[in-house]
Amino acid sequence: MAELTPPPPSTAGLRILLSKDRPPASSAAPATTTAAAAAVSSHTDRDRIIGVFRDALSRTESPEVFALQAVQDAIKPQKQTVLVLEENQSLENALRKLLQELASSAVQSGRRIMQYGNNGENDCPITRLLDIVLYLCERGHVEGGMVFQLLEDLTEMSTIKDCKDVFGYIESKQDVLGKQELFGRGKLVMLRTCNQLLRRLSKANDVVFCGRIIMFLAHFFPLSERSALNIKGVFNTSNETKYEKDATDEISVDFNFYKTLWSLQEHFSNPALTAANLTKWQKFASDLMVVLSTFEAQPLSDDDGKLNNLDQEEDAAFNIKYLTSSKLMGLEVRLFYQMFPVVIDSLILELPLCS
């Protein structure tokens, strides 16, 4: 009897199974085509928005007259006066691109970016664009953080010299930027912008600009702002103020007072250590009273006051460290800007203990 052999396994079922999981070859092409079409449409929309706002920048009226109409022409929003999330994002992307193009044009022309225009600073398209967006943010027509994002972009693409002009614009608009409807949406962006600027600046060569930024932050953020608080109580103890420990024959002032004045810096550099030690605290309080009494006994005359009015060039070269030479002691006691930091440091150290 002949031996029966099993038939070869059928692959039809396997082919059917695989065909269910694998999309037809023709379906990949429409998906790619759709994505490409969407990208083209996105670029077209962005270019159209940029074109509308370029035309708006050439208008001489106040932004109140045409800003909202420009948004409506550019976006065609679902609502007449307020943009939804996707519309805000489209507008922001287009305006960031426009800002980049304007800054690039300013650089190519060899002009300062905040002074680039037909009539210089009074007709600067970048300033004009910022004014328009600031108005729209203030009135709630667009997302409140949009103007902060543009300002951050502008500082990142600017040189230090141009950043001073940009920051001048920020300072001039501080009251508007600090309004609650804008502050809540853009405070973190503004903090990041200022911190990035401070990291770019030289603490030795850009003292005045650093001071402007720090003063702006002090005014812009409330005292209760967490980012402005030294919650952990960490102090920069490495910033040591060096002074003469021993008297010399050439000294013409009371050397005991000289040592008393500059020894206060040891307490100011690490207040926690002084506050935790009763003996050190009593020594600090005693020395401080001696110094303040001496300051009080040195009234300022009109001529002394004039010495404090530094012009711009002198201010730019102002030293950020104390001049502790004993030979200068007689002059420094009479100068208000030498007394003032001591008084402020004393208040900083004492106020937490009084609360």
- Give per-residue pLDDT as tens, 105-139: 999 998 889 988 766 556 799 999 999 999 999 99
Same domain? 163 vs 57: yes
Q: What is the pLDDT of residue 267?
A: 85
Q: Residues 89, 211: one domain?
A: yes
36 occurs within a structural domain: no
Same domain, 213 and 67: yes
- Based on the fold, state whether residues 219 and 264 are members of the same structural domain: no
Is 2 contained in some domain? no
Residue 294, in any domain of the structure: yes
- Which tokens is 221 given? 């953020």
The pLDDT score that the predictor gives to residue 244 is 85
Q: Are residues 218 and 290 in the same domain?
A: no
Residues 221 and 269 in one domain: no
Per-residue pLDDT at 315: 46
Looking at the fold, whether 211 and 272 belong to one and the same domain comes out as: no
Q: Does residue 18 lie within any of the structural domains? A: no
Tokens describing residue 107: 């650089």
Q: Is residue 57 part of a domain?
A: yes
Q: Which helix (H) or strand (E) holds 337?
A: helix 336-354
Measured CA angle at 116 (ends 112, 118), to 5 deg: 150
Q: Are residue 181 and residue 295 in the same domain, yes or no?
A: no
Low-confidence ranges of the chain (pLDDT < 50): 1-5, 9-29, 33, 35-40, 307-308, 310-316, 355
Most distant pair of Cα atoms in the chain: their distance? 134
Q: How many domains does the chain have?
A: 2
Nearest CA to 91 out of 147, 36, 39 is that of 147
Residue 345: alpha-carbon gap to chain centroid:
25
The whole-chain average pLDDT of the chain stands at: 79
Cα separation, 294 vs 333, whole angstroms: 8
Residue 75 falls inside a structural domain: yes
* Tens digits of residue pLDDT in 306-339: 544 544 444 445 556 677 887 777 776 666 555 6
Q: Give a yes or no: residue 25 inside a domain.
A: no
Rounded percentage of the chain residues whose pLDDT exceeds 90: 39
Are 277 and 320 found together in one domain? yes
The per-residue pLDDT for 349 is: 64
Query: Is the domain of 223 the same as that of 278?
Result: no
Residues in contact with 252: Cβ distance below 8 Å, sequence separation at least 6, in sequence order: 327, 330
195 and 71, same structural domain? Answer: yes
Last residue of a domain, one of 193, 228, 263: 228
Does 168 map to a domain?
yes
Contact 291, 264 (CB under 8 A): yes
Print the domain residue range for 160.
41-228
Give which of 321, 324, 346 is closest to 333, Cα–Cα: 324
Query: Could you tell me the pTM of the whole model?
Result: 0.69
Whether residues 201 and 271 fall in one domain: no
Q: Identify the domain boundary among 175, 209, 228.
A: 228
